[in-house]
């Protein structure tokens, strides 16, 4: 059953990369919030497509 194992590893890799990218986005968002405390905060971007897209385009 090697195919299932490879698929599991692929999914796990994507999950890890997505969480790293999400953590970076959160850090930038918090830094921006600290820099402009009197401005209304923008909504944090959705962690799904935009972060995955950013992650995949910058890391490759």
> Mean pLDDT lowest for which of 2-11, 31-40, 44-53?
44-53
Judged by DSSP in three states, 24 sits in: helix
pTM of the model: 0.46
Between CA 22 and CA 9, with CA 52 as vertex, the angle to 5 degrees is: 95
Domain of 54 in residue numbering reads as 2-59
Q: What pLDDT, on a 0 to 100 scale, did the predictor assign at position 22?
A: 93
Question: CA–CA distance from 52 to each of 7, 20, 32, 43 (Å)?
Answer: 18, 10, 21, 17
Crossing angle of helices 49-59 and 2-35, in 10° steps, is 100
Structural domain count of the chain: 1
Cα torsion through 25, 52, 50, 29, rounded to 10:
0
Q: How confident is the model at residue 12 (pLDDT cuts 50, 70, 90)?
A: very high
Q: What pLDDT, on a 0 to 100 scale, did the predictor assign at position 13?
A: 94
């Amino acid at each position: 059953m090697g195919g299932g194992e490879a698929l599991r590893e692929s999914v796990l890799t994507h999950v890890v990369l997505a969480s790293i990218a999400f953590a970076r986005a959160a850090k930038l968002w918090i830094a921006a919030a600290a820099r402009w405390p009197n401005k209304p905060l923008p909504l944090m971007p959705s962690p799904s497509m935009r972060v995955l897209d950013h992650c995949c385009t910058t890391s490759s």
